[in-house]
Amino acid sequence: MTKEEILVHVDHTLLKAVSAWDEIQTLCEEAIENHTASVCIPPSYVKRVSKAYGDKLNVCTVIGFPLGYNTTETKVYETQKALADGAGEVDMVVNLGDVKNGEFPKITREIEAVKKAAGNHVVKVIIETCYLTEDEKRELCKCVTDGGADYIKTSTGFGTAGARIEDVRLFKRYIGEGVKIKAAGGVKTREDLEQFLEEGCERIGTSSALKLLGGQEAGTY
């Protein structure tokens, strides 16, 4: 795969709590120069980025991030606010407490509510695979599908582990038609980037793609 073929699938990401404006600017300028799929940034920067870069960028932001235990009403408002500020895509975290309580219909309803708020905008659902059993992952594939989301996403990058090829393969078996896959966290080499794409991921969320493709070591998500 060429560098260009990889980067069109990358959500160029900076979600550290201490991210400063000059770092966000660098991220955006790199994304424009390298034609990445999007930039994925904190909600507090969405309006500023949208004003600074206009339609040069596809802006993605995060909802209920990184722990997911916000109420559904809060996630819906976050989504509405992010889109009003100029985001084109949102990545929402499921409520992992609901997962552990087996409340999968509630999770599906929450995904439906966020997708309704997002309308035609892309919604990716982060299920944080590092905390889940195989049965829970399968159930969440159904929740994401039934809830009408566009993507299922492996990880926040803030959990105990990131994306694994085994989870991507599981997703492929259990998600419904039309649901795409995003891998995030745990991408450490160019070979990782290529393997996740070859396994069927449409997107990869990482802060390190440009470094990896330039032969450097991975940074933090």
* Catalytic-labelled residue, pool 91, 98, 167, 192: 91
* Catalytic-labelled residue, pool 75, 115, 124, 182: 182
Q: How far apart are the first and last CA of the chain?
A: 23
Query: What angle (nearest 5°) sits at the alpha carbon of residue 83, between those of residues 62 and 107?
Result: 50
- Concerning whether 81 is annotated as a catalytic residue, the answer is no
Our measurement of the distance from residue 138's CA atom to the centroid of its chain's CA atoms, rounded to an integer in Å, reads 19
Using alpha carbons, select from 76, 117, 71 the residue that is nearest to residue 98. 71
- Concerning whether 91 is annotated as a catalytic residue, the answer is yes
- Concerning whether 47 is annotated as a catalytic residue, the answer is no
Q: Which value, in Å, is the radius of gyration of the alpha carbons in the chain? A: 16
* Catalytic-labelled residue, pool 75, 153, 167, 192: 153
- The structure tokens listed for 51 are 């004003």
Using alpha carbons, select from 190, 187, 40, 44 the residue that is nearest to residue 124. 40
Active site residues: 91, 153, 182
